[in-house]
């Protein structure tokens, strides 16, 4: 079940002032790694999700690695010509 909290309640839970939290949420103010870790734990989501809006996906990572490997092999083949 999703947490239905106000910005003030979230700010309080993360030990931030309401104004500071509001600026972070709007992207006006940066944040520390500590805040990122605390927010990740509080919302029970990955830091990838907080930063990029998506979670780490091993299948996607494997696909990207295989694509990179193929491109590197093509480059090596070109160099050998």
pLDDT in tens, 3-51: 688 999 999 999 999 999 999 989 899 999 999 999 999 999 889 888 8
> Quick one: how far is CA 39 from the chain centroid?
11
The alpha carbon of residue 6 and the mean position of all alpha carbons in its chain are separated, in whole angstroms, by 22
Mean pLDDT of the chain: 88
pLDDT at 73: 92
Please indicate, yes or no, whether the overall pTM of this predicted structure exceeds 0.75.
no
> Cα separation of 15 and 9, whole Å?
10
CA angle 53, 29, 25 (to 5 degrees): 40
Q: Do 14 and 38 contact (CB within 8 A), yes or no?
A: yes
In this structure, what DSSP letter does residue 15 have? Answer: T
């Amino acid at each position: 079940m999703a947490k239905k909290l106000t910005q003030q309640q979230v700010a309080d839970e993360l030990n931030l002032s309401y104004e500071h939290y509001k600026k972070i949420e709007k992207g006006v103010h940066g944040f520390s790694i500590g805040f990122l870790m605390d927010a990740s734990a509080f919302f029970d989501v990955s830091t990838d999700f907080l930063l990029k809006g998506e979670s780490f996906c091993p299948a996607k990572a494997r696909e990207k690695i295989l694509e990179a490997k193929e491109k590197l092999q093509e480059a090596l083949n070109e160099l050998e010509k």
